[in-house]
Amino acid sequence: MSANAGTVLGFQFSVPPTAKGRFSGSAAQVQCSTPSRELFTKNGKDDGTLILSLAFPTPLALPATISCTFDVAAGQQLLATDVTIGDKEVTVLSNDQKGIVGDPSMLVVDVSVS
C-alpha cells in the first residue's frame, strides 16, 4: 500500500475484511511494516479489519509505503481490487503551525498485490 497526501502530520485508515483471506497476525502483531521513520501503528482487529497509522510532529515524508502479509484463503486469489480502503483520517499542519483535522479525501491510498 502506498499513501500520499499534501502537508500532513499524520494519517490513519482502515482496510475492511475480505472473503479472500485475512492479514497475517493479530492486534499489534499483524504482519505490516514500513521503511518510514515516523511513528507507525498497526492493529489487526478480530473482525478482520486492519487499522494503519503513520504520524510525526513535523510533516510526513510522503509518499509512504506500507507492506502487509496476507494469508489467502484456500482456493482464492487476492487481487488489488479485492482490498478496499475504509475510514480515513488526516491531521494537517495549520497556518499557525498546529495539527488540525484535515480533509480525508486528500489521502490517496494505492493498493498493489505481489
Cβ atoms < 10 Å from Cβ of 44? 23
Cα separation, 88 vs 90, whole angstroms: 7
- Most distant CA pair in the chain, distance: 54
Confidence of residue 4 (pLDDT cuts 50, 70, 90): low
Residue at grid coordinates 497556518:
95
My answer on whether omega of the bond before 16 falls inside 30° of 0, hence cis, is: no
Sign of the dihedral defined by the CA atoms of residues 37, 109, 13, 103, in that order: positive
Which pLDDT value is given to residue 2? Answer: 57
Q: Which amino acid is at 61?
A: A
What mean pLDDT is reported for the chain?
A: 92
Overall average pLDDT of the 13-40 stretch? 95
Q: pLDDT tens digits for 31-67?
A: 999 999 899 999 999 899 999 999 999 999 889 999 9
Q: What is the mean pLDDT of residues 82-95?
A: 94
CA 94, CA 102: separation in Å to the nearest integer? Answer: 9
pLDDT-derived band at 7 (thresholds 50, 70, 90) equals: confident
pLDDT for residue 93: 87
pLDDT of residue 47: 93
Asked whether the predicted pLDDT for residue 1 surpasses 90, the reply is: no
User: How high is the pLDDT of residue 96?
Assistant: 87
Q: Provide the pLDDT for residue 5.
A: 58
Distances (CA, A) of 30 to 12, 15, 48, 68, 113: 16, 13, 11, 8, 17
